[in-house]
């Protein structure tokens, strides 16, 4: 089961007010989300198996009963398996990035390192040589505040929106298999941190943050942080380490360009792992909302 179909994930979405409610349909976790102007859509994320017509009919019925504009299914697949979902490919809003960078954890550590770009291996060694130390810390409010401080620096530097600290507290406390790793300089100053999911099948690098202090940025702490996380994932029995999203091949001006460059220094394995399908219940309203959304994005 993917993280997005876990009950704890649904609980997190409800408690952080990201969804109106969670509906269970034939074993699938379905999110009812606001899409603006008092309208709602249904989202089913992280599907790893075929969705047959009888299940689609049940989802369609719930979509109508809940007065939703559409329902959207996003698959996730790391091994190249074809997941059959009858319907039209497309999406209103994408939650799972189509392409990601992964590491096959069934390979040896030597093979994993060999599959990195030389710059990735060099930066890992450099961070260790400069005295950077990575620790798995308890999920206390004090430690989460350390992460949040680094995240605030990251979002300010890279100009994107982060979450409130309450969300990260909820994330770490509600998801039992989550861990917070922090990288420290020799003076025990926290200079990078990450929130990870370590699970039996797939481990995920979910959130990362680093200092904006120029004195520490040349220590390359995020690289050693990732290497430590990869080792933890491997020891936990995971088969795959997912960097959770890179720019699609050939995509220009992607907001993921910066992190894509970072992630691709640590692995050459980039795969398409997610496909989206959409069923529209109220065509006119959907068309108007979609147009307004595109205009808003264009103005940005």
Per-residue pLDDT tens listing for the chain (300 residues) = 899 999 999 999 999 999 999 999 999 999 999 999 999 999 999 999 999 999 999 999 999 999 999 999 999 999 888 899 988 999 999 999 999 999 999 999 999 999 999 999 999 999 999 999 999 999 999 999 999 999 999 999 988 889 999 999 999 999 999 999 999 999 899 999 999 999 989 999 999 999 999 999 999 999 999 999 999 999 999 999 999 999 999 888 899 999 999 999 999 999 999 999 999 999 999 999 989 988 887 786
List residues bridging with 241 in a β-sheet. 103, 203
List residues bridging with 43 in a β-sheet. 31, 72
Residue with tokens 């008092």: 38
CA dihedral defined by 59, 25, 72, 86, rounded to 10 degrees?
Answer: -60
Contacts 24+ apart (CB under 8 A), 89-93: 89/275, 89/276, 89/277, 89/278, 90/276, 90/277, 90/278, 91/276, 91/277, 91/278, 92/35, 92/41, 92/278, 92/286, 92/289, 92/290, 92/293, 93/35
What is the predicted pLDDT for the residue at 69?
98
What is the predicted pLDDT for the residue at 300?
65
Residue 270 CA, chain-centre distance (Å), reads 15
List residues bridging with 47 in a β-sheet. 75
Domain limits of the chain?
Answer: 3-96+274-299, 100-272
Gap between the Cα atoms of 100 and 98, Å rounded: 7
Query: Is 96 buried (19+), middle (13-18) or exposed (0-12) by CB count in 10 A?
Result: buried
What is the predicted pLDDT for the residue at 298?
78
What residues have CB less than 8 Å from 28, skipping those under 6 apart?
A: 5, 44, 47, 51, 55, 59
Query: Are the beta carbons of 60 and 73 closer than 8 angstroms?
Result: no
Q: What count of residues does the chain have?
A: 300
Gap between the Cα atoms of 61 and 69, Å rounded: 12
What are 69's two structure tokens? 């504009």
Q: Report the run of H or E that residue 227 belongs to, with start and end.
A: helix 221-235
What is the predicted pLDDT for the residue at 169?
98
Domain 100-272 -> CATH class: alpha beta
What are 243's two structure tokens? 């960097």
pTM of the model: 0.94
Give Rg (Cα) of the chain. 20
What is the predicted pLDDT for the residue at 219?
98
Going along 82-217, which residue ranges are E strands? Answer: 88-89, 99-104, 133-137, 178-184, 190-197, 202-210
Gap between the Cα atoms of 277 and 42, Å rounded: 12
Query: Are the beta carbons of 179 and 205 closer than 8 angstroms?
Result: no
For residue 116, which phi and psi values (nearest 5 degrees)?
-85, 160
């Amino acid at each position: 089961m993917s993280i997005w179909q876990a009950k704890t994930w649904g609980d997190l979405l409800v408690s952080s007010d990201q969804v109106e409610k969670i509906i269970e349909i034939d074993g699938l976790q379905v999110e009812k989300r606001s899409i603006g102007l008092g309208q709602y859509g249904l989202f089913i994320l992280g599907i790893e198996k075929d969705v047959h017509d009888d299940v689609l009919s049940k989802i369609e019925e719930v979509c109508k009963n809940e007065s939703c504009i559409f329902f959207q299914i996003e698959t996730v697949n790391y091994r190249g398996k074809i997941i059959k979902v009858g319907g039209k490919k497309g999406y209103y809003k994408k939650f799972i990035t189509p392409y990601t960078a992964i590491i096959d954890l069934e390979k040896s550590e030597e093979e994993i390192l060999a599959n990195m770009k030389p710059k990735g291996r060099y930066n890992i060694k450099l961070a260790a040589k400069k005295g950077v130390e990575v620790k798995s810390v308890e999920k206390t409010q004090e430690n989460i505040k350390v992460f949040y401080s680094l995240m605030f620096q990251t979002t300010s530097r890279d100009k994107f929106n982060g979450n409130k600290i309450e969300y990260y507290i909820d994330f770490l406390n509600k998801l039992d298999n989550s861990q917070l790793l922090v990288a420290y300089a020799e003076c025990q100053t926290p200079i990078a941190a990450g929130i990870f999911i370590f699970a039996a099948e797939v481990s995920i690098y979910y959130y990362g943050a680093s200092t904006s202090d120029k004195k520490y940025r040349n220590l390359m702490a995020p690289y050693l942080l990732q290497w430590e996380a990869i080792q933890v994932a491997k020891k936990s029995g995971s088969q795959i380490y997912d960097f959770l999203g890179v720019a699609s091949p050939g995509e220009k001006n992607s907001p993921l360009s910066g992190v894509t460059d970072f992630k691709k220094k640590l692995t050459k394995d980039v795969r398409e792992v997610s496909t989206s399908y959409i069923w529209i219940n109220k065509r006119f309203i959907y068309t108007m909302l979609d147009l307004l959304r595109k205009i808003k994005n264009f103005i940005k």
